[in-house]
Structure 1
Amino acid sequence: MSVLVIIFLTAVAALFSGVFNQGKFARYIGIAGLLAALYVSYLPEVQFFSQYRAMYEFGTNSALFTKISVVITLLLFFLGGFSFSNHRSHQSELYALMLFALCGAVVLFGYQNLVTLFLGIEILSIPLYVMAGASKSNLRSNEASLKYFLMGCFATGFLLFGITLIYGTSGSFDLYTIHAYALEFPKDTMLIMGMILMLCAMAFKVALAPFHMWSPDVYQGSPSLITTFMMSVVKIAGFYALFRLMTIAFVGVYDEWVNILGVFLIITLFLANVMGLAQSNAKRMLAYSSVSHAGYIALIFFGMNNMSTYYLAFYLFAYALASVGVMMSLIWVEKLKRETSYAAFKGLAKSEPLLATVAAISMLSMAGIPLTAGFMGKLSLFTQAMNGAAFLVLIAVLGSAISIAYYLRLIIAMFFFTESSFKTTEKVTLTYNILAVFIIVAIVALGVYPDLFAMQFGL
């Protein structure tokens, strides 16, 4: 909980820094606070916070996912100087909202009961509704904010109704009390109905089909840095919250929900990859790519073992790194071209070879090409799921094969056009180049030596 307190105080400081110089110091305050939070996440929890253990506990797994999310948010803050240059009058609010959303993610990493789960989801979601509409003069951004808010409210209704049924039948909000009740009464109709409603609500949060309808429009309409935050940190928080809920509270009724998740997975992989092929806009293609990865990640629920949490963390970190890598190139192109179609990327490798390289390697990692972190992440999930869900693994492999086609379209646009379409003397900043090198090295290093992940995150 020390990490949560530090991030919250950093968010408050970043917010009020807007009083001075249009908030130009907010980014640096955020970076300093996130570095402090990352350092504290490696330390033992302060004894004072043990009194809140019934609501929230910062255990080993919570610390792991918190570290991952803080690292990814740090990368986004480094990108913010260029990305938020059009939002100078309210950039302090955007940085603060991002940190408040991160607070919600940290709550989800250690929640102990359903009330804390609800609070974590709302703390994460409400800032996102605002950030999605940050480009006030952009109709797509306004649409994204409104659509995300309305669909989010709809999902919240499902979640609360489910929590009500669970409490009504088990008499408790505590995950472990519900766990014991589910083991004793696995056929309780009210318990199963509540579980299904909560599963549907969480499927919305992680964009599993058929609850993904909001994500392509919201991802395309939101400012690109906010889209990257949704694709990475929000995905990490949502999936670990879902994983914690289903494997602790509802593991006693595993047979009742695992087939439902299997159906979601099949629909997700088929629909997202086919729709990804049909896109002519790179940002919208990446939105469908994000939906497809929700399907791959859902394989974690099949053939579970004592390494499942580690596999989930590795995959989510690999995917988040790749998301930042490809989106940083998209942010640059969008800034110069005012669009994100495939045509806008033509010749990027000639004018900015490092940006094109990090985007290409990131997409190859997303596709699961060997010697990348994404390949090792998919290999771990697929190998685990083979113990009882070989059919789903086959569908996931076919989905990965299809995804290569739409990733290659963007790679071809960047590398296989001799003439650059970038008629500008503006060059990528040193910060972008350093981050590009870092992401390239990290993706390749984790693909070649995956144990590096455990070493770096103190496992």
Structure 2
Amino acid sequence: MSVLIIVFLTAIVALFSGVFEQGKFARYIGIFGLIIALYVSFMPGLAFFEKYRHMYDYTANTALFTKISIVTTLLLFFLGGFAFSNHRSHQSELYALMLFALCGGITLFGFQNLVTLFLGVEILSIPLYVMAGTNKTDLRSNEASIKYFLMGAFATGFLLFGIAFIYGSTGTFDLYKIHDFGTQNPKNVMFILGVLLMLCAMAFKVALAPFHMWSPDVYSGSPSLITAFMASVVKISGFYALFRLMTIGFAGVTHDWINVFGVFLIITLFLANAMGLAQTNAKRMLAYSSVSHAGYIGLVFFGMTSLSTYNLAFYLFAYSLSTVGVFMCLIWVEKLKRETSFGAFKGLAKSEPLLATVAAISLLSMAGVPLTAGFMGKFSLFSQAMNGAAFLVLVAVLGSAISIAFYLRLIVAMFFFKETTFKTSEKVTLTYNIVAVFIIASIIMLGIFPDLFAKQFGL
């Protein structure tokens, strides 16, 4: 909980820097606060917060997912100077909103109570509704904001309705007491209906089909750095919250929801990868890519072992690194070309080889090519799921094979054109180069030595 308080206070300071017309320092305030929070996340929780354990418990798993979320947010903050250069008048609000959303994510990592779950989801979501519409003069950004808000409110209704059914049947919001009730009363109709409603609500938050309809429009209409935040930090928060909810609270009725979840995964993997092939815009392609990865990550619920939580964390971190790597390239191209079509990337490797390289390696990692972190992440989840859902693994492998086609289209555009279309003297900043080197090294090192992940995060 100390980490949560530090991130919250950092958000407050960043927000008020704008009030005092010092918004240009908001990014540095955020980076400084996140570094302190990351340091504290390696320390044991304070005894002072023990009395709140029935609502929020800072366990080893909570600490693990908190660390990878903070690292991902830090990388995005480093990219913010260039990405938000046209938002100078309200930079402080953007950085503060990202930190507030991170607070919601951290809350989801340790919730012990359905009330805490609801608060975490809303604290995570509400800043995103605002950030999606930051480009006020862009109709696509306005559409993204209102569509995300309306669909999010609809999903919140499902979540609250589900919580009401759970409370009505169990008489408690406590996750472990709910688990005990489900184990003892596996045929309670009201309880099972509540479980399915909450599953649908959380499926919306992680963009699982058929609850993904908002994702392509919101991702493509939002500012690119915010899209990267949604595709990485929000995905981490939503999936671990879903994992914790279903494997602890609703473990007693797994047989009632696991088949429904499997159907979601099949629809997700086929639909997202097929739609990804049809895209001509790189940003929209990455939106469908994010949906497809929700399908791969969902395999963690099948054939579960003692390493399932670790496998989930590794995959989410590998995917988040790749997302930041691709989006840092997309942000730079979008600034110069005012578009994100595949054609806008033609010849990028000629003018900015490092930027093109980090994007290419990130895309290969997303595709699950060997010697990348993405391959090890997929291998661990697919191997686990083979014990309980071999058919789903086959569908996931087919989906991965399809995804290679649309990832390669972007790589071909960057590397296989003789002439560069980037006729500009503007060069990538030193900060971008440092982040690019870090991501390239991390993806390759984790692909070759996956145990480094456990060592670096204190496991």
Instruction: Please tell me the TM-score bracket, short chain as reference.
Output: over 0.9
Partner residue, 2:282: 282
1:111-139 CA deviation, whole Å, 9 max, x = no partner?
A: 00100000000000000000000010110
Q: Tell me how far 1:388 sits from its aligned partner.
A: 1.6
Partner residue, 2:38: 38
Within 5 A, what are the aligned runs for 1:243-322?
243-322=243-322
1:161-193 CA deviation, whole Å, 9 max, x = no partner?
A: 000000000010000000000000001000000
Corresponding position: 1:367 with 2:367 = yes
Letter in 2 for 1:65: F
Partner residue, 1:201: 201
Taking the aligned partners of 2:180 and 2:257, their CA distance within structure 1 comes to 17
Letter in 1 for 2:282: A
Partner residue, 2:27: 27
Taking the aligned partners of 2:412 and 2:265, their CA distance within structure 1 comes to 30
Matched residue of 2:87: which SS?
helix
Q: Tell me how far 1:382 sits from its aligned partner.
A: 0.2
Matched residue of 1:136: which SS?
coil
Partner residue, 1:111: 111
Partner residue, 2:62: 62
Matched residue of 1:422: which SS?
coil
Q: Tell me how far 1:36 sits from its aligned partner.
A: 0.3
Conserved? CA contact 1:22–1:89, under 8 Å: no
Taking the aligned partners of 2:72 and 2:260, their CA distance within structure 1 comes to 31
Taking the aligned partners of 2:169 and 2:262, their CA distance within structure 1 comes to 26
Corresponding position: 1:458 with 2:444 = no
Partner residue, 1:180: 180
Matched residue of 2:422: which SS?
coil
Matched residue of 1:86: which SS?
coil
Q: Tell me how far 1:19 sits from its aligned partner.
A: 2.7
Letter in 2 for 1:312: L
Q: Which runs of 4+ in 1 moved over 3 A?
A: none
Taking the aligned partners of 2:245 and 2:315, their CA distance within structure 1 comes to 19
1:393-452 CA deviation, whole Å, 9 max, x = no partner?
A: 000000000000000000000000010001110000000001000000000000000000
Matched residue of 1:85: which SS?
coil
Q: Tell me how far 1:22 sits from its aligned partner.
A: 4.8
TM-score by structure 1 length?
A: 1.00
Corresponding position: 1:170 with 2:170 = yes
Partner residue, 1:430: 430
Partner residue, 1:413: 413
Matched residue of 1:48: which SS?
helix
Taking the aligned partners of 2:21 and 2:194, their CA distance within structure 1 comes to 50
Taking the aligned partners of 2:23 and 2:417, their CA distance within structure 1 comes to 41
Matched residue of 2:371: which SS?
coil
Taking the aligned partners of 2:169 and 2:154, their CA distance within structure 1 comes to 23
Taking the aligned partners of 1:19 and 1:242, their CA distance within structure 2 comes to 37
Taking the aligned partners of 2:340 and 2:22, their CA distance within structure 1 comes to 29
Unaligned runs of at least 5 residues, structure 1: none
1:354-373 CA deviation, whole Å, 9 max, x = no partner?
A: 00000000000000000000
Taking the aligned partners of 1:376 and 1:176, their CA distance within structure 2 comes to 32
Taking the aligned partners of 2:282 and 2:208, their CA distance within structure 1 comes to 20
Partner residue, 1:137: 137
Conserved? CA contact 1:57–1:112, under 8 Å: yes
Letter in 1 for 2:104: G
Taking the aligned partners of 2:278 and 2:250, their CA distance within structure 1 comes to 38
Partner residue, 1:381: 381
Conserved? CA contact 1:22–1:90, under 8 Å: no
1:376-401 CA deviation, whole Å, 9 max, x = no partner?
A: 00000000000020000000000000
Letter in 2 for 1:392: L
Partner residue, 1:74: 74
Taking the aligned partners of 2:20 and 2:342, their CA distance within structure 1 comes to 40
Q: Tell me how far 1:20 sits from its aligned partner.
A: 3.7
What is the count of residue pairs matched by the alignment?
Answer: 459
Q: Tell me how far 1:5 sits from its aligned partner.
A: 0.2
Corresponding position: 1:403 with 2:403 = yes
Partner residue, 2:90: 90
Taking the aligned partners of 2:407 and 2:318, their CA distance within structure 1 comes to 17
Taking the aligned partners of 2:49 and 2:337, their CA distance within structure 1 comes to 50
Q: After the TM superposition, which of the residue ranges 12-21 and 298-307 deviates more from structure 2? A: 12-21
Conserved? CA contact 1:273–1:288, under 8 Å: yes
Taking the aligned partners of 2:426 and 2:297, their CA distance within structure 1 comes to 39
Matched residue of 2:117: which SS?
helix
Letter in 2 for 1:29: I
Partner residue, 2:324: 324
Taking the aligned partners of 2:79 and 2:410, their CA distance within structure 1 comes to 22
Unaligned runs of at least 5 residues, structure 2: none
Q: After the TM superposition, which of the residue ranges 15-24 and 97-106 deviates more from structure 2? A: 15-24
Corresponding position: 1:7 with 2:3 = no
Partner residue, 1:346: 346
